[in-house]
Amino acid sequence: MERKNKTIGVVTGIISNLVIVKVDGPVAQNEICFIRHPENKLMAEVIKITGDNAYVQVFESTRGLKIGVQVEFENHLLEVSLGPGILSRNYDGLQNDLDKMDGVFLKRGDYTDPLNREKKWDWKPLAKKDDKVKAGSWLGEVPENGMPHRIMVPFKMDGEYTVKSVVPEGAYTVDDVVATVTDTDGNDIELTMVQKWPVKMAITAYNNKPRPFKLLETGIRTMDTLNPIVEGGTGFIPGPFGTGKTVLQHAISKFAEADIVIIAACGERANEVVEIFTEFPELEDPRTGRKLIERTTIIANTSNMPVAAREASVYTAMTLGEYYRSMGLKVLLMADSTSRWAQALREMSNRLEELPGPDGFPMDLTAIISGFYARAGFVYLNNGETGSITFIGTVSPAGGNLKEPVTESTRKAARCFYGLNQDRADSKRYPAIDPIDSYSKYLEYPEVQNYLMEHIGEGWLENVAKAKNLLLRGREAMEQINILGDDGVPLEFHERFWNSELIDGVILQQDSFDEVDANCPMPRQKYMLEKVLNVSEKKFAFENFEDLSNFFKRIINVLKQMNYSEWESDKLKKHEAELEEIMNERLN
């Protein structure tokens, strides 16, 4: 969309942060412009074009803006800068480095460079003279917080190129020329460590994008055991306020098997975002022994940014994830909460006077959400390496109504559904994921089933099915007991209920404050599930329901102590022997 001259416009209408601009030349959808406010320049994005009128959403407050103010269009789309130095940074939705800004309440029109232009990076060449390269090919790498940050041929460059020269090992800034390539017409192109990419466009510099199949361990038993997500998969966590969506996302961020973590705080409450800023720099990464923030990037809306900026946040986060995926890394992207993003879409759609859909959301809400979720995935790069983006978003339905449009639209796009239950949250059962309503469609894929059987063991899927069946039968038994009373149902109903409580207390519930139980690897999950199912399959003798409940409470307590014991420790073996003793007391 390169043009020789910048298009100029004039403000003709203002509706909150939607501004109507009459233009004197061509403009493009999603093009960036700057409005010359009396105090400073305000950044905006074109969201609709009608004749010579451009409708732009302003990413700042429009207070004091007047009709007749000049607008200058920048000849480029809303884009991010990609290069070394992104990790451990705190950005806003426009990729302004928040650490470079002054004051608690940020100044309007204050924009900062997302990268450090002065720092020198230890460059190591990967390509050599006369190599054939194309968009996404690795030219070299620099170490970034212990991660290999690959410098690639810019994604905007089409066709094949020949490497003319690559600088030798040494220390260079991001703006130094590190390689020169020649196109098919013989033109030389100098490349630095920095490139730019529009956030609304997916980066497709890969060879193949198959259906994902590798299990992504999160360390959360109720997810990994019952409804696993795969590397490059998509999932979402809907639930009423206060059910633990943000806490669960934080736990997944800490323990999931990912190289890079990107958190898009695209509209959650300020106190929860502050927790991320204050906790992550202090947390030790269990995978590397370094600080967790060193492999984390945070995208957060600032308090004085309008609702429209929430949309930019999620796209900025996804683009950064695609950039690191192109380096052959496993990226975990968390968005909290996508309901706020959808509300931003609704607000702008209403101001544009578009035909509303259910609850006033845009008619194409499902298509927008599906298009965004589709950018995640597992890919084979051009050099044979693999990379992935696993995306998990949260949804905050008003009043906990899981039938509202955002939840329903997201359900169509995401393959994993982790519904949080208010009753479980109120009874302090963490995580509050409903084991009956939640699901993982990845378990239906033959390649995922084969992977699980190969890496976890034969019979694993059968055991998972048994556990789900016990939970379902236990819920049915609980409903009967609640209606008819403890004495009004046969003893087998109480046994069904307590078998489900056994799975709930030992497998589904987890103590995030315990050093051992906070993160449960798959071998340990397999071991504990087999222990629980072994108890449920035994035939015990009981005189009455009180006798039965006391027995199961003892069993659950011992198994919980096993969850708190170090793996393969003497303490674990001691509790295992204690479990056998209790079981032998009641065996028929």
In tens, the pLDDT along 500-520 reads 999 999 999 999 889 999 999
Closest CA to 239 of 429, 369, 397: 397
- Predicted pLDDT at 311: 84
Cα distance between residue 571 and residue 561, in whole Å: 9
- Predicted pLDDT at 2: 61
User: Taking the model in full, what pTM does it have?
Assistant: 0.95
The yes-or-no verdict on residue 346 having pLDDT over 70 is yes
Query: Which phi and psi angles does 201 have, rounded to 5°?
Result: -110, 135
pLDDT in tens, 234-245: 999 999 988 988
- On average, the pLDDT of the chain sits at 92
Cα distance between residue 363 and residue 357, in whole Å: 5
In the 8-state DSSP scheme, what is residue 566? Answer: P
Pairing, β 234-238 against β 386-395: parallel
The yes-or-no verdict on residue 38 having pLDDT over 70 is yes
Cα distance between residue 140 and residue 420, in whole Å: 44
pLDDT in tens, 307-342: 777 788 999 999 999 999 999 999 999 998 899 899
pLDDT band at 108 (very low <50, low <70, confident <90, very high): confident
How confident is the model over 174-190, as a mean pLDDT?
96
pLDDT in tens, 205-234: 999 999 999 999 999 999 999 999 999 999
pLDDT band at 270 (very low <50, low <70, confident <90, very high): low
Cα distance between residue 15 and residue 30, in whole Å: 19
Q: Which residues contact 541 (CB under 8 A, 6 or more apart)?
A: 586, 587, 588
The full DSSP string for 201-225 is: S----SSB-----SB---S-HIIII
Domains and CATH numbers, the chain: 8-77 (2.40.10.170), 121-193 (2.40.50.100), 221-439 (3.40.50.300), 460-586 (1.10.1140.10)
The yes-or-no verdict on residue 1 having pLDDT over 60 is no
pLDDT higher for 415 or 587?
Answer: 415
pLDDT higher for 107 or 166?
Answer: 166
pLDDT band at 531 (very low <50, low <70, confident <90, very high): very high
pLDDT higher for 41 or 277?
Answer: 41
Cα distance between residue 388 and residue 376, in whole Å: 7
Per cent of the chain over pLDDT 90 is: 79
The full DSSP string for 226-243 is: IS--BTT-EEEEE--TTS
- Predicted pLDDT at 304: 65
| Cis preceding linkage at 358, omega within 30 | no
The yes-or-no verdict on residue 268 having pLDDT over 70 is no
The yes-or-no verdict on residue 442 having pLDDT over 80 is yes
Cα distance between residue 551 and residue 559, in whole Å: 13
How confident is the model over 72-86, as a mean pLDDT?
96
pLDDT band at 77 (very low <50, low <70, confident <90, very high): very high
Two tokens, residue 297: 């990037």
The yes-or-no verdict on residue 18 having pLDDT over 60 is yes
How confident is the model over 272-284, as a mean pLDDT?
74
How confident is the model over 397-418, as a mean pLDDT?
93
Cα distance between residue 70 and residue 108, in whole Å: 18
The yes-or-no verdict on residue 581 having pLDDT over 80 is yes
Pairing, β 377-380 against β 70-77: unpaired
Two tokens, residue 463: 């055991």
Angle subtended by helix axes 338-351 and 405-413, to nearest 10: 120
- Predicted pLDDT at 269: 55
Q: What is the dihedral of CA 265, 271, 276, 278, to 10 degrees?
A: 150
Per cent of the chain over pLDDT 70 is: 97
